Amino acid sequence: MPKIVLVTGASSGFGRETVKMFAKDGYKIIAIGRRQERLKELKKELSECDIYTISLDIRDKKEVFDAIENLPLEYKNIDILVNNAGLALGLEKAQNALIEDWEVMIDTNIKGLLYITKAVLPRMIKRKSGYIFNLGSIAGNWPFKGANVYGSTKAFVQQFSLNLRNDLKDTNIRVTNIEPGFAKTEFSKIRFKNDDKKADSVYDGFQPLVGKDIANIIFMLSKLPLHVNVNTLEVMPTAQTWAGFALEQNC
């Protein structure tokens, strides 16, 4: 019987590529995203595959729990959860950032991830089987200018993933936090509020990761033997390294 994979943020980027990779390998897919038209396009592109789409905003707690509760019977026993939905807004210093942007990041990157996880866990635990992939970021490990709240939300994802592993002891459920570096998806376009020129400039002069790179990592990890759990995986493009410490002299 084909395994079932639920992917949030499935309408673009890492999520879309993850859906495509698993679907083409014969998995049953539950694709969740905000943009219904994008989900329709994805389902049409993968018309030979078994895909069930749900258009919702993961920030809406009731909508999330209702959607998981009301899944058709053939999609209820989710084997793999990919918590991909998330975003960054702006790169302003904390003192200049919009509080509304902070709230959106917290509601999406933290609370939305928690809602989906909480809704899916009971059936995984009952069956003593499952794999949860959380999409963190190198921003959760390494500070950089303008990453104030975004980086903090991804640090939460990292710590939640580690604690979730502890809580799920004796359930056979695996948890991996994937922490990508610079990746060219719609991420920067959203961060800079549809300023294409500004978003594209982020990737000038080097080869960033792309959605397929992260999808491939998730896919490969899912194929590891059941007794193997990769707790955390930080991945950057070869061109990217750490920025080092900043010094302010004569102050």
- Annotate 149-164 with three-state secondary structure: HHHHHHHHHHHHHHHH
Tell me if 250 is assigned to some domain: no
95 secondary structure, DSSP code: T
Domain-embedded: residue 251: no
Q: Is residue 76 part of a domain?
A: yes
Strands (E), the chain: 4-7, 28-33, 51-55, 80-83, 130-135, 173-180, 183-184, 209-210, 232-235
What pTM value is reported for the model? 0.93
- The DSSP H or E segment spanning 168 is none
* CATH number for the domain harbouring residue 81: 3.40.50.720
- What is the Cα–Cα distance from 240 to 208, expressed in whole angstroms? 8
Summarize pLDDT for 21-63 with one digit per residue, the tens: 999 999 999 999 999 999 999 999 999 999 999 999 999 999 9
> Which residues, in sequence order, are CB contacts of 233 under 8 Å at separation 6+?
176, 177, 178, 179, 217, 221
**Number of separate domains in the chain:** 1
The set of catalytic residues is 150
Q: Domain for residue 107, yes or no?
A: yes
Establish if 218 belongs to a structural domain.
yes
**Residue 167 within a domain:** yes
Give the domain extent around 201: 4-235
Q: What is the pLDDT of residues 78-97, one digit of tens each?
A: 999 999 999 999 999 999 99
Residue 241 lies in a domain: no
Q: Looking at the domain assignment, is residue 98 inside a domain?
A: yes
